[in-house]
Amino acid sequence: MKHPYVGLPDRQFWKKEPGIQDAYLLDPVGPVTMTLTRQDRIVTAGSCFAQHVARFLSQSGYNHYIAERAHPIVPARVAQTHNYGLFSARYGNIYTARQLKQLLQRAYGEFDPCEISWQSPHGEGVVDPFRPQIQPGGFLGESELLADRSHHFSCIREALENMDVFIFTLGLTEAWVDRRDGAVFPIAPGIAGGQYDPGTVAFQNFDEEETWEDLRFSLEFLRWINPCLKIILTVSPVPLNATYENRHVLVSTAWSKAVLRIVAEKAMRAFDDCVYFPSYELITSPHVMGQYYENDRREVREAGVSHVMALFMAHFTEGGGCSSRVPPEPVAVDSHLAEMERKIEVLCDEAAITNE
């Protein structure tokens, strides 16, 4: 019998998927048209699942390009606490395509939101409304925030202009928007700073057309800055923590992920050198029977991240499946600081007094 499915690859048939028998063999990644080298500068951004991708790349010997580093005098654990190295710059989680678009515009001076700062939730100082949780302790005031933001934007520009690969994880469609100028905040005011005023901010749930326009703009903007850029899109498998829509959070999650998945597909078809990596499908698939989710049924377990990243490595890297982790780089002690500390000790030793 002749029909159109004759001769198609096994991956296109549900029952031929080895992952049915053994979930660990599930591999939904399609043909990949790009290969990443260890030299490629990879910039990561997106929702909280993007943090896993960034961390794994950093630990795997790939060049997770960190443009916004802590100064060498800052110890590694302090830098980590203040979210240096989490992503390529300290932009924190970028949940929506609109947020990505506006970040690019802000970094290049094309959009200057009227909301500059939010009062810190602790009462003292301020936080950045566009990354309110980036720095425990916040900023002393708007002047300091603006000084840091200026440095932050210069690091973003450096990252975007020098990157070879951009991996963006689409996370949400729901957002809170400033009614005055359309600026999108990553979380509603009042949660991690600022005050909720319905007269100033409005809830918005971006549909597939709005999300597509925002993503298209962002990717065109990036290609304008960096024409040879390779783009990898993913959709976060992490469900919504909360929805403002008057319906069950699971229903909102399904709607939101559907929008994001459609938009990622559209982007893949519209842009050259732009691929979709199915981390969402892998984690949520019936094959793994929910075992990649933590007990809260929301956070992704390390086993899930490892499966996702093993497939990422297998399909996107030169080693093709060589996903072995390399030990983290030894923490470099700032040599100038160490030398100065030694000398101060000697100086103070010289000044020592004995009480005998």
Partner 1 sequence: MSGSILIVGHSHIRCLMEAWNKRAGYEGEYDVEFVDLIWLERQEKLAGRQVGDAVKRRVRNPSPNYICQCVNGNFHNVLGIVENPVPFSVGEENYGSAPVGNGRWFIPSSVMMDVFQARFERACKAIESVFAAFPESTRLYLNPPPPVADWEHIKAYPGVFSDNIHLGPAPNDLKIRLYELQTAYFENVARVQAASFIRAAPETLTSDGFLRADYYNADPTHGNMRYGQVMLEEIFKNAQKFRRLTRVSESLT
Q: How far from 114 is each of 130, 135, 258, CA to CA, in Å? A: 12, 21, 32
Q: Please, what is the minimum distance in Å from the beta carbon of residue 122 to partner 1?
A: 11
Residue 277 contacts residue 233 (beta carbons within 8 Å): yes
Smaller CB separation from partner 1, 143 or 162:
143
Smaller CB separation from partner 1, 148 or 281:
148
Smaller CB separation from partner 1, 3 or 71:
71
Q: What is the DSSP letter of 141?
A: S
Amino acid at 191: I
Q: Please, what is the minimum distance in Å from the beta carbon of residue 124 to partner 1?
A: 11
Smaller CB separation from partner 1, 179 or 342:
342
Q: How far from 167 is each of 22, 36, 54, 63, 235, CA to CA, in Å? A: 29, 12, 9, 13, 11
Smaller CB separation from partner 1, 210 or 334:
334
Q: Please, what is the minimum distance in Å from the beta carbon of residue 103 to partner 1?
A: 19
Smaller CB separation from partner 1, 138 or 239:
138
Q: What is the DSSP letter of 328?
A: P
3 state SS of 46: strand
Residue 214 contacts residue 208 (beta carbons within 8 Å): no
Q: Please, what is the minimum distance in Å from the beta carbon of residue 14 to partner 1?
A: 51
**Site of interaction with partner 1 (CB under 8 A):** 70-75, 77-79, 81-82, 135-141, 143-144, 146-148, 150-151, 336-337, 339-341, 343-344, 346-356
Q: Please, what is the minimum distance in Å from the beta carbon of residue 348 to partner 1?
A: 4
Q: Please, what is the minimum distance in Å from the beta carbon of residue 143 to partner 1?
A: 4
Residue 307 contacts residue 279 (beta carbons within 8 Å): no
3 state SS of 269: helix
